[in-house]
Amino acid sequence: MAKLIIDGGHALSGSINVGGNKNAVLPMMAACLLTDELCVLTNVPSIQDVAVMAELLSGIGVEVAGVGSGSLRIRAKTVDPLKLDQDLVAQLRASVLFFGPLLARTSSVSMRHPGGCIIGRRGIDTHIEALDALGATLTIERGMYHVATDHLQGTSLFLSETSVTGTENALMAAVTAKGHTVIRNAASEPHVQALCRFLNAMGGNIQGIGSNVLTIDGVDALHGTSMDVPPDHIEVGTWIVAAAVTKGDVEITGVNIGDLEKILLTYRAFGVTIDAQGNTLHVHPSELHAVRKVETNVWPGFPTDLMSVTVTLATQVSGTTLCHDWMYEGRMFFVDKLIQMGANIILSDPHRALVTGPTPLRGKDIDSPDLRAGMALILAALSASGQSTIERAELIDRGYEKVDERLRSLGGHVERVDD
């Protein structure tokens, strides 16, 4: 267990470099199961989810080196799916990504329901439907999913929802399946695109990258490769909000502008002054005002993973903003903690919060309910007067690398205490 002690009211300033994309590196790590040759991933964020994913891989016989160093060397020379650690599966939502590659590599996999943040219903129906279309069968026994196949066969399928991890599992199962596969209603987020490029670098044949229709011609085998993990656009959005709510002046380096169009459009609509040049953003102190509505959507819409920090932003702008996340019915339940800090928020229903600002926030002792809400509470504490304590900070470690150190480098008064 860990907690962060934050003295608020200090403007952030300086330069910060964006880390590797959490939601890209995890499926790329899983994809390494598709070859017995060495794969090297660089620009890997040192976060808890990567450490757990590496432990899961090691447990089934995969050689993993470099955890915490920024560079991973993964070689799945031998794989034993029967040794998949179900306790670790329960800790990590991304463990669901083992279905596709293990099915392709070993023809069977057994797994309990994957864990992760509790932000609403997160079923795996889309995954199972896609794998079934490719030739797999499912049985459920005593809370365990057992998926097996005689052989995977290319097919045409339409995903019942635009699921990121469902798309990724279908891709990893189809890339070495016999024949031609078409995935319609596929997710197209930057991390899905990164997985496609990684699979192609391993020898796969995937077309339509960045669109909602992916075509895959199965290949006999994949080989090892090396690739950089792309920058995390969710982290970019987080640092933009951190600068805005503290009235700071922050330079964000190492960004991919092409991943930020809707994010920049949304935050500029709030009045945040953002200059973009090359792979660098500069966020200036700004006069902030409300927007009528911020609504999440599938890519290239506004990302659900930025809604929590956007609610914090809305508490510090002039006027009333409707924040609507239709994807997860638990996303908004952290707002009671912002209300304790002095925010003026009406929770209309599980998906919508009406936020009126600006409201001066006061430091409080609060706990982090999940990764994204935890970061939103950190930003609230940075903008608040007085001292706050954020309990269960280890949840935030799942997706943000050394968040206390990086905030201190920008002048934030943040101390970490590990119990």
Whether 152 and 42 share a structural domain? yes
Query: Looking only at Cα atoms, what is the longest distance across the chain?
Result: 62
Predicted local distance difference test score (pLDDT) of residue 382: 98
% of the chain residues with pLDDT over 90: 92
- pLDDT for position 142: 83
Q: Which residue has the tokens 């560079």?
A: 71
C-alpha to C-alpha distances, 214 to 181, 209, 229, nearest whole angstrom: 8, 7, 21
Q: Specify whether the CB–CB gap between 338 and 316 falls below 8 A.
A: no
Residue 143 burial by CB count (10 A; 0-12/13-18/19+): exposed, middle or buried?
exposed
Q: Which domain holds residue 75?
A: 22-228
Name the one residue in this structure whose structure tokens are 């069977």. Answer: 108
pLDDT band at 404; cut points 50, 70, 90: very high
Identify each DSSP E strand in 248-343 by its residue range.
Answer: 249-253, 273-277, 280-284, 293-295, 319-324
- For residue 69, pLDDT over 90 is answered with yes
Residues 224 and 254 occupy one common structural domain? no
Single-letter amino acid, residue 115: G
CA-CA distance, 19 to 15, in Å (whole number)?
13
Report the candidate in 238, 173, 236 with the shortest Cα–Cα distance to residue 373: 238
**pLDDT at res. 121:** 47
The position carrying tokens 């928020």 is: 345
Give the Å distances, CA to CA, from 202 to 39, 42, 67, 75, 317.
9, 15, 22, 13, 47
d(C-alpha 9, C-alpha 378), whole Å: 12
Catalytic residue chosen out of the listed positions 49, 232, 259, 305: 305
Q: Is the pLDDT of residue 397 over 80?
A: yes
User: Six-digit token pair at 205?
Assistant: 């044949």
| Pair 75, 63: CB distance under 8 Å | yes
- For 301-348, the pLDDT digits (tens) are 999 999 999 999 999 999 999 999 998 787 899 999 999 999 999 999
Catalytic residue among 3, 247, 364, 398: 398
Task: Choose the final residue of a domain: 190, 210, 228.
Answer: 228
Beta-carbon neighbour count of residue 354 at 10 Å?
Answer: 15
Residue of 3, 22, 93, 247 with catalytic role: 22
Q: Indicate if 23 belongs to the active site.
A: yes
- The SS3 of residue 354 is strand
d(CA 43, CA 267): 27
Question: Is residue 107 predicted with pLDDT exceeding 80?
Answer: yes
Averaged pLDDT for residues 22-41: 98
Same domain, residue pair 180 and 219: yes
Inter-residue contact 219 to 176 (CB < 8 Å): yes
Burial class (CB in 10 A: 0-12, 13-18, 19+), 67: middle
In this structure, the answer to whether residues 208 and 272 fall within a common structural domain is no
CA–centroid distance for 136 within its chain: 27
Q: Is 398 among the catalytic positions?
A: yes
Residue 188 near residue 213, CB atoms below 8 Å: no
89 and 196 together in one domain? yes
Q: Is 412 helix (H, G, I), strand (E, B) or coil?
A: coil
Q: Are residues 207 and 60 in the same domain?
A: yes
Judge if 238 and 220 occupy the same domain: no
Q: Which of 39, 117, 196, 323 is catalytic?
A: 117
Query: Which CATH number covers residue 406?
Result: 3.65.10.10
**237 with 214, same domain?**
no
**Other CB atoms within 10 Å distance of the CB of residue 332:** 25
Whether residue 196 is found in the same domain as residue 315:
no
365 is catalytic: no
299 three-class SS: coil
Return the amino acid letter for 398. Answer: R
185: annotated active-site residue: no
Q: What is the mean pLDDT of the chain?
A: 95
**End residue of a domain, out of 204, 228, 252:** 228
Q: What is the CA radius of gyration of the chain?
A: 21
Asked if residue 192 and residue 213 are part of one domain, the reply reads yes
d(CA 230, CA 20): 6
Residues 285 and 212 in one domain: no
Give the tens place of pLDDT for each residue, 152-198. 999 999 999 999 999 999 999 999 999 999 999 999 999 999 999 99
Residue 116: its pLDDT value, please?
Answer: 52
Closest CA to 4 of 411, 385, 377: 377
Annotated active-site residue in 73, 112, 122, 416: 122
20 forms beta bridges with 231
Determine the pLDDT at residue 330.
Answer: 79
Question: 74 with 29: CB under 8 angstroms?
Answer: yes
* 232-281 confidence digits (pLDDT tens): 999 999 999 999 999 999 999 999 999 999 999 999 999 999 999 999 99
Same domain, 256 and 323: yes
Tell whether the torsion through CA atoms of 380, 1, 232 and 117 is positive or negative: negative
Mark which of 228, 258, 280 sits at the end of a domain. 228
**Tokens matching residue 162:** 């635009």
At 122 the pLDDT is 53
Predicted pLDDT at 219: 98
Which pLDDT does position 327 carry in this prediction?
85
Q: Decide: residue 229, CB within 10 A, 0-12 exposed, 13-18 middle, 19+ buried.
A: buried
Q: How many domains does the chain have?
A: 2
122 is catalytic: yes
Cα–Cα nearest to 28, from 249, 227, 179: 227
